[in-house]
Amino acid sequence: MTTPKIAFVGAGSTVFAKNLLGDILSYPELAGADIRLFDINQERLDVTEQVAHRVAKAVSAAPTVSATTDRVRALDGADFVINMIQVGGYEPATVTDFEVPKKYGLRQTIADTLGIGGIMRGLRTVPVLVDISRDMERLCPDALHLNYVNPMAMNVWGLARLSPRIKTVGLCHSVQHTAGELATDLGLPVEEIDYLCAGINHVAFYLKFEHRGEDLYPRLMELAESGRVPEWNRVRYEMLRRLGYFVTESSEHFSEYTPYFIKHDRPDLIEKFNVPLDEYPRRCVSQIGNWRELQAKLQDPNEPLEVRRSVEYGSLIIHSMVTGQPRVVYGNVMNSPVNPDGTPGHGKLISNLPDECAVEVPCLVDKQGIQPTRIGRIPPQLAGLMQTNINVQALTVEALVTGNREHIYHAAMLDPHTSAELDLDQIWALTTDLLAQHGDFIPEELQAAD
């Protein structure tokens, strides 16, 4: 692979695309890459194209950059496909995911991974990812699909069921971000931390967290017991106290994956654990504002565009597969992987989680591609907590695979947060209401009945 061909699907996510472009083009071996930018929004696409050229100039790279609203053109012959779409956008889809549940007394923080919001996002996102993968089967069947889209576990799982020929790895930054946050809490350089993490996306735990051979868990536990923890991170330190291990995803995310922290009749819990309700809509508004600022900034050709290396894994994977330099990244893959020829792999990666679920584990990457690490058995209390989330993921994927919309209701009734707040009649009514509201974005057979 001399000149890698890299397609950005959903390139209108300009700020995120800017970070990935800076990471990729900073490598001399990738500086001449063939960059294909695709989005359905021409205005956003135009801005990202300008950003790509400015990033290339900033890092002294000379890529070939093309921008198109034709997905076939972007995917044709690609070696890597980076996916960062958001089906339905902030408006109307995300707003609907928050505002309709509120009418039933159900409040959320992020609603992109689990809960009733995560279920709806999965229903409208997996079919689009499958459609993209079907194009890849025709146009670039050997390409690696790097998925950054949530709900990560549902998306990876749904693709494995509905488009298994395409090699997919789900990428998140929660593992490396949280490692940095914990290092800061302990006053240690993150580059000196040695850790091992495993689980499911957003509910993975550090099975090992050490500094120069010292187990850091006693120090973290001391922080948790003392209450001297960052105000924005009280939920996760509380779970450390209860489970003995630290979870990767943020407190605002994790608070809605369990039934313990958000209760409509317990405002004391919201205050005690500093739970930011409606956090994701606020972030969306802020991100739209940041995009507008970047758009305005680009009007001045003399305005410098700062490029810093991010902690995202995408460029590391591409660089390792192009050059052969081995690295370890954390990826989301199926728990029972298959070989390239379709035969079963070497058993489960996490032995006390189901065969058919998506897990997040360390993966070796080199010219051979993504090679997940077999973890074995994880602590049973962690596996048990993950299973409550896997139940919801499994039923949402089953609804998509079979077209049986009753499984959407089953997913909602088994969701930890939803079932802790609403009775069965409310859950059924809410689910029906949301399916009707999202009718333009989910498969017709799964929409609410007339």
Looking at the predicted structure, is the pLDDT value of residue 340 above 60? no
Helix axes 217-226, 234-243, angle to 10 degrees: 120
The tens digit of pLDDT for each residue in 397-409 reads 999 999 999 999 9
pLDDT of residue 344: 63
Average pLDDT over residues 391-399: 98
Query: Which pLDDT does position 450 carry in this prediction?
Result: 59
Instruction: Provide mean pLDDT across the span 72-86.
Output: 98
DSSP notation for 11-78: TT-HHHHHHHHHHHHTSGGGTT-EEEEE-S-HHHHHHHHHHHHHHHHHTT---EEEEES-HHHHHTT-
| pLDDT given at position 341 | 57
pTM for this entry: 0.96
Pairwise CA distance, residues 411 & 419, whole Å: 10
Structure token digits, residue 113: 């991974």
111 φ/ψ angles, rounded to the nearest 5 degrees:
60, 35
According to the model, what pLDDT value does residue 343 have? 62
Q: Are 382 and 243 in contact (CB under 8 A)?
A: yes
What integer is the mean pLDDT of 388-394? Answer: 98
For 211-237, how does the pLDDT look when each residue is reduced to its tens digit (9 = 90+)? 999 999 999 999 999 989 999 999 999
| pLDDT given for residue 342 in this prediction | 60
Mean pLDDT of the chain, nearest integer: 96
Catalytic residue numbers read 173
- pLDDT over 70 percentage in the chain: 98
Q: What is the mean pLDDT of residues 290-314?
A: 88
Of the candidate ranges 12-16, 142-146, 345-349, 415-419, the one whose mean pLDDT is the lowest? 345-349
Smallest Cα–Cα separation from 379: which of 197, 120, 238, 106? 197
